[in-house]
Structure 1
Amino acid sequence: EKRLGEIIYDQLRGQTAVLNDPLIHEYINSLGNRLVAHSQDVKFPFTFFTINSPDINAFAFYGGHIGVHTGLIATAETESQLASVLAHEIAHVTQRHLARRKQAASQQSNMTLAGIVGSILLAAVNPQAMIGALMATTASAQQSMINYTRGNEQEADNIGMNVLATAGFDPYASAEFFAKLQEQQRYKTKQFPFLVTHPLADSRVTDARLRAQQYEKRFYADSLDFLLINARILARYIYDKDQAVELFQEKVKQERGNKLYAAKYGLALAYLDRDELKASEKILKELDELSPNSLYVLDALSDVHIGKKQPEKYLEKLAYAYQLRPNNSVVTLNYANVLLEAKKTDKATQILEYYLLSKPNDYLAMQLLRSAYKQAEKTARYHTTSAELAALRADYRAAIQSVDLALMSMTSDDKAEVARLEALKIEYRTRQRYIKNIKGV
């Protein structure tokens, strides 16, 4: 299951569905793993990731992989509502619902492993197409799977709420989020993908409210991280540039406290994306005075200095941040990016190679390292990194071709590296055969 989950995740990355945003990645994994720490029957580490899509959807698959669409994060009004969705998906994984569903589906309609993999990819990349595919199945098969899914949903609701409450979130948030989707769905012609894969029976909201009554009713404050991530998603991934500026200009007038801070951050990003660098920088410097160690501000100011063609002016700040947090992804990737823009190739290469020792599958870090090798005219290493990037997209044909190019660029003296690359080719061919076996070709 773990290996199959990794293959599916790599294929999703190959379809450019996975969002490579270090701030969002750090947040969603921090939130998810806080919930996992209060879960039972955890058999392997979880991987949380975000799909860049306005659809309201979340899904889980083999090996502890949980994906959530930017549209769902933007729809959640509170951090507890977002946590309730993640807790629910965690319960699907710990109770092995996907494996049990595959068995039920194959008995009902001869669904193969390839069909299961295909449906997961479709649900992530094109949820509306998934809905159409479901509608095309026979009525009896649909009803059987709906009945089976409802049983899973009830179990995941029960377990998820317990995880939510013990992790310190509002247990009433599950019912609130269900009710919100139910209300919004009334005015939509297309059904939310989340409600197709997670059927919302009439009694489900009521049941969730009744279960929540066993817990203490109190106030649950949203973290500043949640507010900032929500603003980032709205500014960068939901609204266009002009809409985002208008939205956050209004929010800045209305909000107070942490919500005002987040609104100003959203406005700074909106200005930045509209190339209004002075307006963006003015707001960000104000936020920097309030929170000198904010990774959100550091990330945005890095982009401002790159946009102004003055990357070297921000290197001192980034170097200090790197000293404090040498293995933090947001700091490291921004530092490396600004170093490359300032043509400090050797330093960028050094910190990226060190970082990838502990996080070898960081796609964005690998892309930056490949750029560093290209800048330094290190041809063999450039092709080797291209191979590793292709493998992370499950494109093993391209990976093998890049390994061959790397071998052609090397001298015969480097026997250890030649042997490593030859072993890499064997590994890629093995993975290629594994995928072909899944697909039955």
Structure 2
Amino acid sequence: MASSFADNNELPDLGASALTVLSIEKEKQLGEIIFNQLQGRASLLYDPLVMEYINSIGNKLVANSQDVKFPFTFFTVNSPDINAFAFYGGYIGVHTGLIANAETESQLASVLGHEIAHVTQRHLARRKEASAQTSNMTLAGIVGSILLAAISPQAMMASMMATTAGSQQAMINYTRSNEQEADNIGMNVLATAGFDPYAAAEFFGKLQEQQRYQTKLAPFLITHPLADSRVTDAKLRAQQYTKKFYADSIDFLLMRARILARYIYDKERVVELFEDLVKKQHGNKQFASQYGLALAYLDTGKLSLAAALLDELDQLSPNNLYVLDAQSDLYIAQGKPDKIIEKLTYAYQLRPNNSVVTLNYANVLLKSNNTKKAISILEYYLLVKPRDFLATQLLSDAYKADENLIRYHITSAELSALRSDYRSAMKSVDLALNLLTAEQKAEVKRIEALKIKYRERDKYIKNIKGF
């Protein structure tokens, strides 16, 4: 279950400052390093429903893009900031605050399309080449800037202010050029994928209007400068497409309601806010608001109200994964996890590799003390998705509950490696080795080889300045 990077002995040279050394393969490896660093530092959101949706809409846009050189990974940062960012190797992050502020699915897609264009046009690699012409900045320094931008764009700007004036001006000019190119390509991708091309201008205009009443720039505007001409250009560019109505998918409405209920709204007012929304809305929007209200009831301990509303939603939309996930949480909160097992078993038969179904099923099995079945399901799932952080964490818990301490320590090591915490990974490997007997020579050799890989990567990461 080790990552593809962990299985590759060839590490990219991060000290060089020439673009020519950054091949596509090295860019992919570098992206994985940065993502692992983010898993260790940033508040990444390990919510299967949100992750499934973001990757679904993102990959739909990628399928309609040109110059795609590697698979894309989309992820979410649990932060109220309005922000999104892209980095090497097809990794694109979006903050929960941006999702909450996107009023339509096309507005959210317009941001993702813009970030996809940054990646396909290799803007980071090109920006790195431009910066190398005005300073001795290395690739490692840019990696540090990406981490700062993801976690705190304000800190990134403070860091940039410490550079020379000439370097700053070159970076600003290059950023403007990149943004214009990403706007053009992103809109084409948006329209080709079946989303509203007018949504980009709508979202830009909304952000611009919000900033008129605020002294602090939204993080998205720090990393994506928004001049007045940019909104106008987006409106003019959209006019080449026929203006028509684009309906939001039910998945978008449910996902956004989930974001608002669990990650944005104040817990003291979340029930009141969703009760008000339910009264005002109709159709799919009302269904999504009812789902948000059910989560609000659930998360504030109003379990009987949550149960009644979820039963109603289940009747309206049988086999809905959002409702199934909430019902799983409900039965666990009620101390009756076995009550949902039959329903999850059926869902698993229909969708054996779906992360929402699999992780809920495994979690409920663990809560029901059926650890052997949970382990079997998670081991199979991780063969297909070996870098799933939450699944690896659940498997580690399952091995511990099963008192399989050797596998528990090995899986804990893999979990640490997914965060680039190789020192913790090596400690877990040592604990596993101490439990092995002389008769288990093959297993000893395999685990010792794993420790050597972790040691190499720990040394490598520690030598990268900016981390």
- Give TM class, smaller chain: over 0.9
Q: Is the 8 A contact 1:19 1:50 kept in 2?
A: yes
> Residue 77 of structure 2: which of 42, 51, 63 is its match?
51
Give the letter for the 2:404 counterpart: K
RMSD (Å), alpha carbons = 1.3
> Residue 47 of structure 2: which of 21, 28, 34 is its match?
21
Distance 1:437 1:107 in 2: 24
> Residue 216 of structure 1: which of 242, 252, 260 is its match?
242
Give the letter for the 2:134 counterpart: Q
Distance 1:332 1:279 in 2: 27
Give the corresponding residue for 1:79. Answer: 105
> Residue 439 of structure 2: which of 410, 413, 416 is its match?
413
- What is the TM-score of this pair, normalised by structure 1? 0.98
Give the letter for the 2:234 counterpart: A
Distance 1:250 1:223 in 2: 22
Deviations 1:43-66 (A, max 9, x none): 100000001111111110010000
Shift of 1:434: 2.6
Q: Is the 8 A contact 1:165 1:171 kept in 2?
A: yes
Shift of 1:121: 0.7
Tell me the secondary structure at the aligned position of residue 438 of structure 2.
coil
Does residue 343 in structure 1 map to residue 343 in structure 2? no
Give the letter for the 1:365 counterpart: A
Distance 1:407 1:338 in 2: 31
Give the corresponding residue for 2:303. Answer: 277
Shift of 1:139: 4.1
> Residue 276 of structure 2: which of 242, 250, 266 is its match?
250
Give the corresponding residue for 2:86. Answer: 60
Deviations 1:187-210 (A, max 9, x none): 112111111111111210111111
Deviations 1:355-399 (A, max 9, x none): 111111111111111111111111111100110000000000111
Give the corresponding residue for 2:265. Answer: 239
Distance 1:364 1:320 in 2: 22
Q: Is the 8 A contact 1:131 1:193 kept in 2?
A: no
- Cα separation, partners in 2 of 1:240 and 1:413, compared to 1, 3 Å: farther
Distance 1:108 1:42 in 2: 29
Give the corresponding residue for 1:183. Answer: 209
Tell me the secondary structure at the aligned position of residue 48 of structure 1.
strand
Deviations 1:68-105 (A, max 9, x none): 10000111011001000000000000000000111212
Shift of 1:16: 4.3
Shift of 1:226: 0.5
Distance 1:256 1:281 in 2: 21
Give the corresponding residue for 2:152. Answer: 126
Distance 2:157 2:270 in 1: 30
- What is the TM-score of this pair, normalised by structure 2? 0.92
Distance 1:167 1:416 in 2: 50
Distance 1:16 1:374 in 2: 27
Shift of 1:437: 3.7
Distance 1:278 1:122 in 2: 44
Tell me the secondary structure at the aligned position of residue 241 of structure 1.
coil
Q: Is the 8 A contact 2:190 2:196 kept in 1?
A: yes
Distance 2:241 2:464 in 1: 45
Deviations 1:273-315 (A, max 9, x none): 1111111111111110111111001101101000000111111
Shift of 1:422: 1.4
Q: Is the 8 A contact 1:339 1:345 kept in 2?
A: yes
Tell me the secondary structure at the aligned position of residue 269 of structure 2.
helix
Give the letter for the 1:408 counterpart: N
Give the letter for the 2:399 counterpart: Y
Tell me the secondary structure at the aligned position of residue 315 of structure 2.
helix
Q: Is the 8 A contact 2:413 2:428 kept in 1?
A: yes
Give the corresponding residue for 1:372. Answer: 398
Structure with bigger helix share is 1
Q: How does 1:29-178 map to 2 (within 5 A)?
A: 29-178=55-204
Give the corresponding residue for 1:8. Answer: 34
Shift of 1:145: 1.4
Q: Is the 8 A contact 1:17 1:52 kept in 2?
A: yes
Does residue 305 in structure 1 map to residue 316 in structure 2? no
Shift of 1:140: 3.8
Q: Is the 8 A contact 1:113 1:438 kept in 2?
A: no
Shift of 1:419: 1.9
Q: Is the 8 A contact 2:118 2:124 kept in 1?
A: yes
Tell me the secondary structure at the aligned position of residue 59 of structure 1.
strand
Give the letter for the 1:24 counterpart: V
- Give unpaired runs (5+ residues) of structure 1: none
Shift of 1:31: 0.3
Distance 1:115 1:146 in 2: 17
Tell me the secondary structure at the aligned position of residue 268 of structure 2.
helix
- Cα separation, partners in 2 of 1:389 and 1:61, compared to 1, 3 Å: same
Give the letter for the 1:434 counterpart: Y
Q: Is the 8 A contact 2:399 2:405 kept in 1?
A: yes
Give the corresponding residue for 1:426. Answer: 452
Tell me the secondary structure at the aligned position of residue 165 of structure 1.
helix
Distance 1:62 1:436 in 2: 20
Does residue 198 in structure 1 map to residue 221 in structure 2? no
Deviations 1:245-266 (A, max 9, x none): 1210110000000000000000
Give the letter for the 2:182 counterpart: A
Q: How does 1:282-361 map to 2 (within 5 A)?
A: 282-361=308-387
Give the letter for the 2:288 counterpart: A
Give the letter for the 1:371 counterpart: D
Name the stretch that deviates more: 88-97 or 413-422.
Answer: 413-422
Distance 1:115 1:257 in 2: 50
Distance 2:253 2:165 in 1: 43
Q: Is the 8 A contact 2:331 2:337 kept in 1?
A: yes
Distance 1:109 1:239 in 2: 44
Distance 1:361 1:198 in 2: 30
Give the letter for the 1:425 counterpart: K
Higher relative contact order (CA 8 A, sep 6+): 2
Once the two structures are aligned, what percentage of the paired residues are identical? 73
Distance 1:404 1:368 in 2: 21
